[in-house]
Amino acid sequence: MLKRILCVIIFYLAVTVNVLGSDQKEILIENKAYINKYAKLFDLSPRLLASIIYSEHKLNLMPGESTLDYIFAKSGYNSSLGVAQIKITTAEWIEQQINNEQSPFYLGASKSLLIKISSSRSEVINKLSDPQTNILYAACYVAMILKIWGDELNFSELRGSKVGITATLYTLGIVDSEGKTRKPHSNAGMNNFGKTAQEFYTSFMLREEFAN
């Protein structure tokens, strides 16, 4: 409740001084180079990664909330931060998995060179506050999801819903609250976040900027 009240205050302050944040399309355009770069690096569709970021900004952020999330993160909350709205604990998990050769989410030696284990929580927050690093982590996380779910989403009747299901797993977490990996299954569906990502992916919006 306190967070929402503060968001409203920040919103009206932003209106007053005319510094409202960019809309979803502007966020994607501003970060187009990073999205395309890291999608390519992790063998992802740039449009898939852009679709997830679009959904985050359409559904989960209101003007001023990014700044507020940073303040809450510094106060000890597990905030979602940055362009791709990555939680602090998720970033820490990504760092551990990509540097652990025994992990089922390990993506190989070349990828492990890209993300090192942070020395402190504060370092994680600072990394996630940088747009380029934030998108790097997001691309890595999507690649980890697809390492587990790729075959099911590419070679079954679910392939038409690949983007939406991947986005759903992104927002729910590939690992559930009990620490268990969400395993592939044939009746997987999309939540509202996933549906929004799927709609963007199949639309003509920013089609030239982000290829399939």
In a domain, 113, yes or no: yes
DSSP state of 86: E
Q: What is the pLDDT of residue 5?
A: 53
- How many Å separate Cα 95 from the centre of its chain? 15
Please report whether residue 92 resides in a domain.
yes
Residue 38 within a domain: yes
Write down the pLDDT at residue 65: 83
Does residue 42 lie within any of the structural domains? Answer: yes
18: left (phi > 0), else alpha (psi -120 to 50), else beta?
Answer: left
Count CA atoms within 13 Å of residue 178 on its CB side.
3
Rounded Cα distance between 112 and 99, Å, is 5
pLDDT of residue 18: 33
Q: Residue 40 sits in a domain of what CATH number? A: 1.10.530
pLDDT value at residue 23:
85
Q: What is the mean pLDDT of each run of 10 residues along the chain (212 residues)?
A: 54 39 84 98 98 96 82 94 97 98 98 97 97 98 98 91 98 96 95 98 96 88
Q: Is residue 16 part of a domain?
A: no
- How many folded domains does the chain comprise? 1
In angstroms, rounded to a whole number, what is the distance separating the alpha carbons of residues 42 and 19?
Answer: 34
- Tell me if 177 is assigned to some domain: yes
Let me know: does 105 contact 144? Beta carbons within 8 Å.
Answer: yes
Q: Which amino acid is at 100?
A: N
CA distance 67 to 81: 9
Q: Is residue 209 part of a domain?
A: no
Q: In the chain, count of helices (H) and strands (E)?
A: 11, 2
Q: What is the pLDDT of residue 21?
A: 39
Domain boundaries, position 158: 2-11+23-202
The answer to the question of residue 144 being in a domain is yes
